[in-house]
Amino acid sequence: MAEQINTLPYKANLDVYSETLQRLAETDPNIIAVTSDSRGSGKLVPFGKKYPDQIVEVGIAEQNLVGVAAGLASCGKKVFATSPACFLTARALEQIKNDVAYSNNPVNVIGISAGVSYGALGSTHHSLHDYAALRAINNITVVAPADNWETEQAIELAARTQEPVYLRFGKKPMPSLKEVNEEAFAFGKGRIITEGDDVLIIGCGETVYPALEAARLLKEEGIAATVVSMHTIKPLDTELLAEKARASKAVLTVEEHSVYGGLGEACAGYLLQKGISKPFKIMGIPDEYTVTGSQGEILGHYGISRDGIATTAKELLRSK
């Protein structure tokens, strides 16, 4: 029989971001949220009502958003600059590169409605480039929490971190990946969700749960999978990656991002340079404008679903 999924109530990671930020701001007046006409979509309306002196609204001006956030951070504030990921990491990329990373201002850049969360709004509103763009910039950590626990831990850690961090969130409610979380959370350290010695499935953000569902489906067919939430895309947990890749017959990565420049290429590049050769497949969005539809429809079209991941894993194992 398949493992039982967690039936506890769960929320969108973005809601947990908002709740955690409110809790931190209750005892820390240096917590500042900066938004670009996105307090509603960023779930920061309750934060603004509770702490009106700790929120700055710049309007639809993402470059100004990052500049203001960098200025506040340079004065000792703990800044969370919140805006849709598609615009934040494209229109304001120069400001992230220079005002935040190069100037070493500890801004927490929060990309919301990432990946294909905006669904039918189309490719202009999809963020399929952010990992690639930010991985190429020195001095910024890139994080995509997979569930509510990872989100809470990541926000708490970001508030204590003195270097720039990019945190990426989608919109849909996310089930818990584990009933009990006893491990310590750290940027740059992946999280093992389940273990098996046939195929290694590495995901990040909202793709980790369908990867876990795929592992449960594979288990019914006698195939044992290790699933890793590689919540930090940069710096990558290369120690865990190498260990689990060596112990597996094949490696599959899954991400809500272009197949170019993201989690998959980061993993492939490291394994190749270390001489760890296994059948390897990157699952993501191919080099095309996406089909039109909801987030689920788009991901399903590209096989980023329980059944699609399981099928790809079996094909990869047969290619050995």
Per-residue pLDDT of the chain (320 residues; tens, 9 = 90+): 233 344 456 899 999 999 999 999 999 999 999 999 999 889 999 999 999 999 999 999 999 999 999 999 999 999 999 999 999 999 999 999 999 999 999 999 999 999 999 999 999 999 999 999 999 999 999 999 999 999 999 999 999 999 999 999 999 999 999 877 778 899 999 999 999 999 999 999 999 999 999 999 999 999 999 999 999 999 999 999 999 999 999 999 999 999 999 999 999 999 999 999 999 999 999 999 999 999 999 999 999 999 999 999 999 999 86
Question: Phi-psi region for residue 293, left (φ > 0), alpha (ψ -120 to 50) or beta?
Answer: left
Claim to verify: residue 65 and residue 209 sit in the same structural domain: no
Claim to verify: residue 137 and residue 234 sit in the same structural domain: no
Range of the domain at 228: 191-318
The secondary element (H helix, E strand) that includes residue 153 is helix 148-160
Q: What is the pLDDT of residue 9?
A: 62
Q: What is the pLDDT of residue 10?
A: 82
Claim to verify: residue 146 and residue 64 sit in the same structural domain: yes
Q: What is the DSSP letter of 66?
A: H
Claim to verify: residue 23 and residue 157 sit in the same structural domain: yes
- 251 φ, ψ (degrees, to nearest 5): -130, 130
CA distances in angstroms from 299 to 62, 125, 303, listed in the order given: 27, 15, 6
Counting beta carbons within 10 angstroms of the beta carbon of residue 263, is it exposed (0 to 12), middle (13 to 18) or buried (19 or more)?
buried
Amino acid at 27: T
Residue 183 lies in a domain: no
